[in-house]
Amino acid sequence: MSNNKLLAALCYFSVFFTPLLIPVIIYFVSDDREVKHHAKRSLVSHLVPVVLLIAGFIIFSFSMFSFTYDLNVMPSGNFGFWQLTPVLFMLVYGVLLIAILIWNVFQGVKVLK
């Protein structure tokens, strides 16, 4: 097994530890074109959850600011769009995060073969 394959697989497996740091370091240190390709792919897959978290922060902010509470009125079971959006976002984010983890492990094993 060559060092280039190990470096490329390490880029994918780094999703479990230092997800953004390892692919960037390997991209700039390695001279092999294929390793750089895998480093870029893994970096993009590691950036997806970060971008989704930023979007989630914006969604939570809108839902927090759109919520009005009146002490004189009994709360009803009716929820608006912005009150349900954080729950839906957490479900979608959880599914996508698991899918990205599985994809990174699959690609790492595929590179090692």
Tell me the pLDDT of the chain (113 aa) as tens digits: 688 899 999 999 999 998 889 999 999 999 899 999 999 999 999 999 889 889 888 877 877 776 665 556 655 555 666 667 778 888 989 999 999 999 999 999 999 98
| Residue whose C-alpha is closest to residue 30's, from 10, 16, 49 | 10
19 in a structural domain: yes
7 in a structural domain: yes
- Does the model's pTM come out above 0.75? yes
86 in a structural domain: yes
DSSP string, 69-110: --TTS---S---HHHHHHHHHHHHHHHHHHHHHHHHHHHHHH
73 in a structural domain: no
Provide the greatest CA pair distance for the chain. 71
d(CA 43, CA 23): 6
For the chain, what is the domain count?
1
Domain that residue 17 falls in: 3-68+78-112
91 in a structural domain: yes
d(CA 9, CA 20): 14
d(CA 67, CA 31): 53
Q: How many CA atoms lie within 13 A of 91 on its CB side?
A: 5
